[in-house]
Amino acid sequence: MVVAMLLGACAKTPQVTGVKVDPALLTLVPQDTTIMAGMRVEALQKTPLYQKDLAGFNIPQVETFMKSTGLDSRKNLWELLYVSNGRQGVLLGRGKFSNEEEPRLERDGIKRFGYKNFILLGDEESGIVFINSSTAGAGEISALKTLIDQMENSHGAPPAMTALMKDIPPEAQVWAAYGGGSIDLNLPGNFANASKVMDSIETGTVYLDLRAGLKAVATGFGKSEQTAQDLQGALQALIGMVRLSAPSSEPGAQRLYDGIHIARDGRRVTVSMEEPEESVEKLLELSGGQRR
C-alpha cells in the first residue's frame, strides 16, 4: 500500500525538462522576446575545465555586466540572461549586488533617471536598472524603459521560447534560443556569411557543456527542406573559410575544426563538436579570447 502511494506521488510530480533558468530572471522576460541567451555563471565556474583553463580568460558578456554594475563576477554573480525582440535587448543578471535596494556606483558620468517606480543609472544612451538588491538589467535606456513597461505582463518566457528551451539540457552552462525574426549580426569580412545563415533559420538553439571537456551543439530548423539543405552547405562553406583562416603554423587548429560535424534530417540541421580538455585553450586563442 505504501509503495503504491509513493509510486502514485512520483507519477504526479512534474518532470523538470529543459535548461535551468533562475525564476527571478524568467519572470522579467517580455512577451515579445524572440532571442534568449543565458550563462549560468556559478555552474560554469564550478566545472573543472573552467577552474583549470578558463578562469584566467575574459568572458565579454560577464565583463560588460561587471563594469555596468560594479560587481565582482568571481564572487557575487550567479547568472546572466540576455533577452531581445530582435530590435533591442537587455542583459539581465542575478547576484549579490548590495545590501541596499539601490547599490551606489561611483563612476564618472553616471546620472540618475527616474522612471515609474525605478531609478536608472547611466548616461543618455545606456545604463542599468536595479530591480532589487539581487536583480539588475543593463542596456540602452530605451530598452530598459521598455522592460519596465512590460514587467506587469511578464510572467515567464513566451510559449514559443519555452518550447525551444525544453530542447536544451538542464546541465548546459551556456545556451541560446532563437525564435525567428530578423537579426543584424553586423559581422565583418567572411563572417558576414553568418548573417545569411541566420536568415535561413526558422528557429534554433545552441548550448555548451563544460563538465567534461567541451561539448557544443547547435540546432537550426530551415523554413523548408531545400532551405535546410542550403543551410547545411552554407555552414560547411563557413567552417571551410574559418579553417583556411587558421595559421598554417598551428596544426592543432586543423584537428580542432575537423572535430566539427554537420548533419541534416529533413528541415533539422545540427552542428556538434566535442573536444577534450587540452583543446579548449587552443580554441580560445583562435577565437580571440584574452586573459585578464
Q: Residue 12: inside a domain, yes or no? A: no
Q: How far apart are CA 286 and CA 50, in angstroms?
A: 17
Residues 87 and 208 in one domain: no
Residues 147 and 36 in one domain: yes
Look up residue 146 and give its three cell numbers. Answer: 521598455
Residues 197 and 262 in one domain: yes
Residues 64 and 103 in one domain: yes
Residues 140 and 188 in one domain: no
- Cross-sheet strand order for the sheet of 135-140: 111-115, 118-122, 126-132, 135-140, 89-95, 77-84, 35-39, 174-178, 201-209, 214-222, 268-275, 260-265
Please check whether residue 50 is in contact with residue 211, taking contact to mean a CB–CB distance below 8 angstroms.
Answer: no
Residues 203 and 95 in one domain: no
Question: Given pLDDT bands bounded at 50, 70 and 90, which one contains residue 96?
Answer: confident
How much is the pLDDT for 70?
Answer: 62
**Residue 10 in this model has a pLDDT that exceeds 70:** no
**How confident is the model over 76-101, as a mean pLDDT?**
85
**How confident is the model over 177-182, as a mean pLDDT?**
87
Q: State the first-to-last Cα distance of the chain, in angstroms, to the nearest integer.
A: 61
pTM for the full predicted model: 0.82
Q: Residue 11: inside a domain, yes or no? A: no
Please check whether residue 283 is in contact with residue 257, taking contact to mean a CB–CB distance below 8 angstroms.
Answer: no
Helix (H) and strand (E) counts in the chain: 12, 12
Task: Burial-class residue 257 by CB neighbours within 10 Å (0-12, 13-18, 19+).
Answer: middle
Q: Residue 7: inside a domain, yes or no? A: no
Amino acid found at 59 = I
Q: Residue 259: inside a domain, yes or no? A: yes
Look up residue 157 and give its three cell numbers. Answer: 518566457
**How confident is the model over 245-270, as a mean pLDDT?**
81
Lowest mean pLDDT among 18-22, 174-178, 236-240: 236-240
Residues 239 and 145 in one domain: no
How much is the pLDDT for 11?
Answer: 43
Percent of the chain beyond pLDDT 70?
73
- Structural domains counted in the chain: 2
**How confident is the model over 148-152, as a mean pLDDT?**
93
More confident residue, 96 or 151: 151
How much is the pLDDT for 281?
Answer: 66
Lowest mean pLDDT among 32-36, 66-70, 103-107, 144-148: 103-107
Q: Residue 22: inside a domain, yes or no? A: no
Give the residue among 255, 7, 8, 29 at the shortest CA–CA distance from 159: 29
- Give how far Cα 227 sits from Cα of 26, 112, 200, 231, 262, Å: 32, 49, 6, 6, 15
Distance of CA 215 to the CA centre of its chain: 15
Residues 84 and 191 in one domain: no
Q: Residue 92: inside a domain, yes or no? A: yes
Instruction: Provide CB contacts within 8 A for 158, sequence distance 6+.
Output: 29, 31, 32, 33, 179
Residues 292 and 190 in one domain: yes
Q: Residue 19: inside a domain, yes or no? A: no
**Residue 13 in this model has a pLDDT that exceeds 50:** no
Residues 94 and 207 in one domain: no
Residues 91 and 132 in one domain: yes
Give the residue among 194, 195, 202, 206 at the shortest CA–CA distance from 226: 202
Structural domain boundaries enclosing 207: 184-292
**How confident is the model over 125-154, as a mean pLDDT?**
92
Residues 151 and 193 in one domain: no
Q: Residue 13: inside a domain, yes or no? A: no
